[in-house]
Amino acid sequence: MRRFSQRNPLVTLSDLNVTPLIDLAFVLLVIFMITTPLLEQGLSLDLPGGGQPDRPLDRNDIRTVEVDQSGGYMLDNESLSLGQIEQKLVADHQNNPNILVYIRADHRGTYGAVAAVLNRCEQNGITRVSLRTEPE
């Protein structure tokens, strides 16, 4: 919208209305606040029951290996092969010997896929391993 000066009809006033821009910024902020927690989920797994609630741990020391029903692997929300997972876990264990490996597996999957992860951890000296379950 053009505004003209009272004195001279040919001179325009430069004026920018920032209210719609602020509204847009707030809408984007709300959208990001709602969608960010949804992006942090891994595989949709149905964990077996049992166990106890977790004790507080340093989140930087935890690596989560997920095994889905068909035997596919994910490490920290990244789909990888078993060999790639082994390489990353060994490198992390060399940098930080306090690494704790969580293994989350679907209860309908095969035990062989979980045993393969456990075996690779044991072969490489990674002794802090936890099989995850849903607390009762």
Query: pLDDT tens-digit profile of 26-45?
Result: 999 998 888 877 666 666 77
How crowded is the C-beta side of 121, counted as CA atoms within 13 Å?
A: 22
Residue 24: per-residue pLDDT:
92
Largest alpha-carbon pair distance within the chain? 87
- State the Cα–Cα distance between residues 89 and 93, nearest whole angstrom: 6
Confidence tier at 49 by pLDDT (50, 70, 90): confident
* CATH code assigned to 59-131: 3.30.420.270
Full-prediction pTM beyond 0.75? no
Give 60 or 39, the one with higher predicted confidence.
60
Give 55 or 29, the one with higher predicted confidence.
29
Q: Which residues have CB under 8 Å from 58's CB, separation 6+?
A: 98
Q: Are 37 and 69 in contact (CB under 8 A)?
A: no
What sign does the dihedral 44-48-52-57 (CA atoms) show? negative
Of 103, 95, 99, 3, the closest CA to residue 45 belongs to 103
